[in-house]
């Protein structure tokens, strides 16, 4: 099955995103609220991450929803997966004001469907149509919605993550949590604590200026986390992006774990003894295929973007196919028994369970993983589609996957050339078992591109 991407005007891969005050304005948030309130009736949950522009945008979003006749429940500051969990359990839709991993000046809105998944392409296009054609409704005074505040609801999410594991599975395990001053400050230390871990917290003060490190949890920004892991003798350190749908790790030696390796490690734990399907975008390392095969699971590829992974998981499950795991090679992992969206808190908790089961250090588990050489590059291109078409023509005799851009599968190597979803950029990825073959393949593709 192949989900195809649909071109949108406001919505990118994960909702609407832009610089607060110029691109992402309260005016736009109001229009999104009105449009969502026109499309979805009932009670809508809203929440936000810690960004300083959040309160103004949430207020505007709520104004739109209320004026369109929806009731609103404001859940306050919480991770995106926490709101998604609450929507599926209690509400008719939801919206989170967040710019995820983007720098502090950005903000955005992710719209959540009743099943807790992010809004898909067709519905996003319908929502945009209401905005551009000014067809949203404003109800009469006696039908205006009512607002209620429910900041404690987030505890239901923490509870659900903790209850997914045996009691005190992390008993005495020292761990460091670094939410980076983002939304997970409200959840991840609490989750780890309730799993029995001895939790050290870093950057757990909520602060939308992100003074300690950028919301993107990169190896560079996590050096203080790595230091604290070493000085406390922790078993691992976990860090999140601004809205905590992603989690990344450093091992007990303070080494950053590449996110595809993280995906492989956790897939190996989750898939053990459970035959079925792992769903992931075409940009993910072959590590997942190797780990999948080891566990009797096969990999289904999707376009790049977590909504395509989630929607494919739903559609496969609806066909009766056992879907065991899903995720992206950026620390965004989906545990279908819990909920069908990326969940950073669940990922952190699963790492505790993994280490408790294996009884080995995280660094030795990482060393035992298959290793591939990966080259990533990007460049500006006026007509990315034409470039991809030219490559499809050139490589027509090879094993191609055209799910998103062009992926050329060649023995133990693959290369992906893919137009960016948001900018006039083309992204190139090449992976091979040997660094030399990766380099050769990369040069071959770049010389074709530059011709």
Catalog residues that contact Mg ion under the rule CB under 5 A.
100, 241, 243, 245
CA separation for the pair 399, 408 (Å, rounded): 6
Residue 50 near residue 242 (C-beta atoms within 8 A): yes
Closest to Mg ion by CB, 170 or 180: 180
Decide: helix, strand or coil at residue 334: strand
Nearest-5° angle of CA 86, CA 91, CA 93? Answer: 100
Q: Which residues, 6 or more positions from 56, have their beta carbon under 8 angstroms from its beta carbon?
A: 26
CA separation for the pair 120, 8 (Å, rounded): 11
Q: In what order do the strands lie in the sheet with 425-432?
A: 373-380, 425-432, 413-419, 406-410, 399-401
In angstroms, give the least distance from the CB of 108 to Mg ion. Answer: 10
In angstroms, give the least distance from the CB of 359 to Mg ion. Answer: 32
Beta pairing, strands 406-410 & 399-401: antiparallel
Closest to Mg ion by CB, 108 or 145: 108
Residue in the shown chain whose Cβ atom is closest to Mg ion: 100
Closest to Mg ion by CB, 286 or 311: 311
In angstroms, give the least distance from the CB of 245 to Mg ion. Answer: 4
CA separation for the pair 142, 62 (Å, rounded): 17
Beta pairing, strands 147-149 & 413-419: unpaired
In angstroms, give the least distance from the CB of 118 to Mg ion. Answer: 11
Q: Exposure string (b/e) for 324-349, b if CB count within 10 Å is 16 or more?
A: bbbbbbbbbbbbbebbbbbbbbbbbb
In angstroms, give the least distance from the CB of 172 to Mg ion. Answer: 31
User: Dihedral, CA atoms, 57, 58, 60, 66, nearest 10 degrees?
Assistant: 160
Closest to Mg ion by CB, 66 or 341: 341
Catalytic, 420? Answer no
Q: Which of 53, 100, 124, 285 is catalytic?
A: 100
In angstroms, give the least distance from the CB of 333 to Mg ion. Answer: 12
Closest to Mg ion by CB, 108 or 336: 108
Closest to Mg ion by CB, 174 or 214: 214
* Residues classed as catalytic: 100
């Amino acid at each position: 099955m192949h989900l195809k991407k649909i071109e949108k005007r406001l919505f990118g891969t994960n909702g609407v995103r832009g610089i607060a005050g110029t691109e992402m304005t309260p005016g736009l948030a109001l229009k999104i609220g009105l449009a969502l309130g026109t499309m979805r009736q009932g009670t809508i949950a809203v929440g936000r991450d810690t960004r300083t522009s959040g309160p103004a945008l949430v207020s505007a979003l709520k104004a739109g929803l209320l004026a369109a006749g929806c009731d609103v429940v404001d859940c306050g500051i919480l991770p995106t997966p926490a709101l998604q969990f609450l929507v599926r359990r209690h509400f008719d839709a939801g919206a989170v004001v967040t710019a995820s991993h983007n720098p502090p000046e950005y903000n955005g809105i992710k719209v959540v469907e009743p099943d807790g998944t992010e809004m898909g392409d067709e519905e996003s296009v319908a929502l945009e149509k209401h905005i551009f054609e000014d067809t949203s409704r404003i109800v009469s005074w006696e039908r205006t919605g009512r607002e209620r505040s429910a900041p404690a609801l987030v505890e239901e999410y923490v509870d659900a993550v903790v209850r997914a594991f045996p009691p005190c599975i992390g008993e005495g395990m020292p761990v460091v949590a670094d939410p980076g001053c983002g939304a997970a400050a409200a959840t991840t230390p609490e989750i780890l604590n309730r799993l029995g871990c001895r939790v050290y917290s870093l950057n757990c003060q909520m602060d939308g200026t992100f003074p300690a490190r950028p919301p993107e949890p990169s190896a560079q920004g996590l050096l203080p986390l790595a230091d604290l892991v070493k000085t406390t003798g922790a078993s691992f350190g976990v860090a999140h992006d601004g809205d905590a749908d992603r989690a990344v790790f450093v091992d007990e030696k303070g080494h950053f774990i590449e996110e595809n390796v993280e995906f492989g490690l956790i897939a190996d734990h989750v898939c053990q003894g459970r035959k079925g399907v792992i769903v992931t975008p075409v940009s993910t390392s072959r590590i997942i295929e190797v780990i999948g095969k080891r566990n009797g699971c096969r990999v289904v590829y999707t376009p790049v973007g977590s909504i395509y992974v989630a929607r494919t998981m739903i559609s496969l499950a609806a066909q009766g196919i056992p879907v065991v795991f899903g995720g992206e090679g950026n620390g965004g992992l989906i545990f279908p028994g819990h909920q069908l969206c990326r969940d950073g808190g669940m990922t952190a908790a699963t790492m505790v369970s993994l280490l408790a089961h294996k009884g080995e250090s995280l660094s030795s588990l990482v060393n035992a993983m298959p290793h591939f050489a990966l080259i990533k590059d990007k460049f500006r291109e006026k007509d990315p589609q034409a470039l991809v078409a030219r490559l499809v023509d050139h490589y027509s005799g090879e094993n191609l996957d055209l799910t998103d851009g062009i992926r050329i599968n060649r023995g133990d190597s693959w290369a992906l050339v893919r137009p960016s979803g948001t900018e006039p950029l083309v992204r190139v990825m090449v992976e091979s078992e040997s660094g030399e073959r990766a380099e050769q393949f990369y040069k071959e593709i770049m010389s074709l591109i530059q011709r």
